[in-house]
Every structure is written in structure tokens, then in C-alpha cells.
Amino acid sequence: MTPTGRSSRRTLSIDDYVEGIRKGSRRILAQAITLVESQHPGDTDQAQEVLRHLVANTGKAHRIGISGIPGVGKSTLIDALGVHLIDSGHRVAVLAVDPSSSLSGGSLLGDKSRMPRLAAIDKAFIRPSPNAQSLGGVTLRTRESLLLCEAAGYDVVLVETVGVGQSETMVANLVDTFLLLMLPGAGDELQGLKKGIVELADVIAVNKADGDNLERARLAQQEYKAALHYLPDRDQSWSPPVLLVSALTGAGLSELWERLELHRSMLEESGELDEKRQIQLRHWIRTVIEERLLVSFGSHAGVLERLHGLESAVAEGRTTATTAADELIRTFKESLG
């Protein structure tokens, strides 16, 4: 973050943020998200104050997670779907959760250059993944950014995340509908069939069903449909459809949107939406507590003082890892006294 960036944000008051977002200003929304993403304690307090004022204006959007292995076409699909939605009167925001961004220092997910058509439209708002310390941190920031987008009047929020590791589980925990993109013909294992990602999916779409790929896409569709039968029934009222789409040609996109909307209306009508969001809120509180506790534990002077010695003791076989961990926790707790 540049020093000028910080000082220009500083000139905004809580009211400026709150009013600006309520009026739907993209510029102020972007600045508020920067505030939410900031690790600076002063910014955190201000961000929470802004969120407290806006929380009553949140909750109305259809929150959709979009996952799938790198290169499956998430950004291209978001670009095409986003334009389609805006044409039919929606306001679309795109956020991203990238677990690798904390390592690489830069984020590819949510990159505007991968969504050129949507990025050129005023009614769309696109935000790349924050570079936070941990996946938990990235997801927490994204959840708060999502609330800010809702308060700014976006009625569809698309969250792009890569289908490797734990990020899709975290994203499934902050959306209403989880869309999993698959490739025609790539191995099941590669695509997470065996890793439990498919269990999270509310809708599955085989992308790149175009040109020479079409036949293989149809085969993949049949395979995934068959594979879904072997999964335990997680939900009586909804069985995930497996669709064919082409983000490139736009084929199948209207049907995809119909299914996504159908899933959301099923949630609303059955009362599951409220239930789901309640569970997500509880999960959110726990994640914040874990994040906060880990940070204060990890920076606690007494803990740091003893850490090295205890690590050596474990390495040399003089004590066990659990005993060492318990001692550190005792040191931490005593200081809370």
C-alpha cells in the first residue's frame, strides 16, 4: 500500500464511507474494501464501524461461489455470465479468494484483464483477492467485502476461487450457491472428485463444451452424473445438476443461470437459506476468534521467550510436542490472569 493511498483514505470519515456505499459509489466501495483488507489496527476499527452501520443493508444478494482447477475457465465464465446478468438488469460484483496469493505476493484470481468485457461495464465491480497472511484471513476479508458490495446494491456477488486445497471449503461457507466447473476429459482425481469438492457443489458445469471438445464434454457429463449417485445424499430437496457450458461461445449460459437461480429460490422457499446463513455466521465468529487468538498467541512475549527452548526440548526427545504446546498455552493463559 502506498503512503499516498493511505493518506487519501484517511480523509474519508465513517459517514463518507457509509453514505458513499449506500449511494452505490464504486470508488468509495473500493476504498472501503481496502480499509477492510488493511492489517493496520486503526483501519480495522474504522472498517468495523463502517460495517456496523451498513449491516442492516446487507444480505439481499445471491452469493455464488465459482470454483474449479486452474485454467478451467472460471474468469472467462464470470466475464460472460456477468455481462449476461447485467444485460438482464442485475448489478454484479466479483470477488476472489486466492489461497496462493499470500505466497506469491500477487493475485491472479479476479484479475480484471481476464474479465475484459465485464471490467469495461460501469455496473460491474471487480475486486482481486486480498493478500492476507492466511487463507482464513483472506476469507474473512472477502466475507466483509461481500457485505460491503451488498450494501452498495449489488444483487449478484460472484466469488472466484481456485479448486485446489481448502479454499473451496471456506468459500462454500460464505455463499448460498456453489458452482463447480469441470473440464471435459481431465482425470477425476485431478478435478477433486475424490477430494470431497464435489460434495460441496450445488451445480456442476462441464466448461469448454465447444468445438472438438463437445463429444468429450458429453461423456464427462454422463460420468459426473453417474458419480454423483455414489455420493451420500446431503440434501433431500436438491440434487446437483450437471450441465454443459461454453464460457467462450456463451452456449448453455442461460440455462446455467436458471439453475443457479432455481437453487437460490429453493433455499428461500424451504427456509434453508436462513438456516444456512445462521450456520455460516456461527462459523464466521469462530474463524475470527481463531484468527485473533492465534495472532495474540503468536506474538505473546512470554510464549516467544519459551518457544525456542521448548522446540529444542521436543527435537531432542526431552519432552513431547503436546506437553510443550500445553506449557506454552499455560504461559499464555496465566498472563490473561
Ligand X SMILES: Nc1nc2c(ncn2[C@@H]2O[C@H](COP(=O)(O)OP(=O)(O)OP(=O)(O)O)[C@@H](O)[C@H]2O)c(=O)[nH]1
Residues 247 and 253: their CA atoms lie apart, in Å, by 7
* Least Cβ distance, residue 211 to ligand X (angstroms): 6
Query: Letter for the amino acid at 257?
Result: W
Any contact of residue 208 with ligand X (CB under 6 A)? yes
Any contact of residue 208 with Mg ion (CB under 5 A)? no
Residue 164 per-residue DSSP state: S
C-alpha cell at 256: 446455467
Residues 331 and 319: their CA atoms lie apart, in Å, by 17
Any contact of residue 107 with Mg ion (CB under 5 A)? no
Query: Judged by CB under 6 A, which of 5, 42, 59, 71 binds ligand X?
Result: 71
Any contact of residue 70 with ligand X (CB under 6 A)? yes
The helix/strand/coil state of 181 is strand
Any contact of residue 74 with Mg ion (CB under 5 A)? yes
Any contact of residue 109 with ligand X (CB under 6 A)? yes
Question: With respect to ligand X, which residue has the nearer C-beta, 162 or 200?
Answer: 162
Within the chain, residue ranges assigned H as helices are 3-10, 14-22, 26-37, 41-54, 74-87, 101-104, 116-119, 135-151, 167-172, 197-200, 214-229, 253-270, 272-298, 301-315, 321-336
Residues 173 and 176: their CA atoms lie apart, in Å, by 8
Which range binds Mg ion by CB under 5 A, 48-56, 68-76, 146-154, 255-263? 68-76
Any contact of residue 129 with ligand X (CB under 6 A)? no
* Least Cβ distance, residue 183 to ligand X (angstroms): 9
From the list ligand X, Mg ion, none, partner contacted by residue 246 (C-beta under 5 to 8 A by kind)? ligand X
Query: Judged by CB under 5 A, which of 75, 100, 101, 246 binds Mg ion?
Result: 75
- Under a CB-based contact definition with an 8 Å cutoff, are residues 129 and 154 in contact? no
Any contact of residue 73 with ligand X (CB under 6 A)? yes
Any contact of residue 214 with ligand X (CB under 6 A)? no
Any contact of residue 264 with ligand X (CB under 6 A)? no
From the list ligand X, Mg ion, none, partner contacted by residue 248 (C-beta under 5 to 8 A by kind)? ligand X
Q: Which residue is nearest to ligand X (CB)?
A: 73
Residues 238 and 230: their CA atoms lie apart, in Å, by 15
Residues 192 and 242: their CA atoms lie apart, in Å, by 15
Residue among 122, 235, 242, 131 at smallest CA distance from 181? 242
Question: With respect to Mg ion, which residue has the nearer C-beta, 9 or 127?
Answer: 127
Site of interaction with ligand X (CB under 6 A): 68, 70-76, 108-109, 114, 162, 207-208, 210, 246-248
Site of interaction with Mg ion (CB under 5 A): 74-75
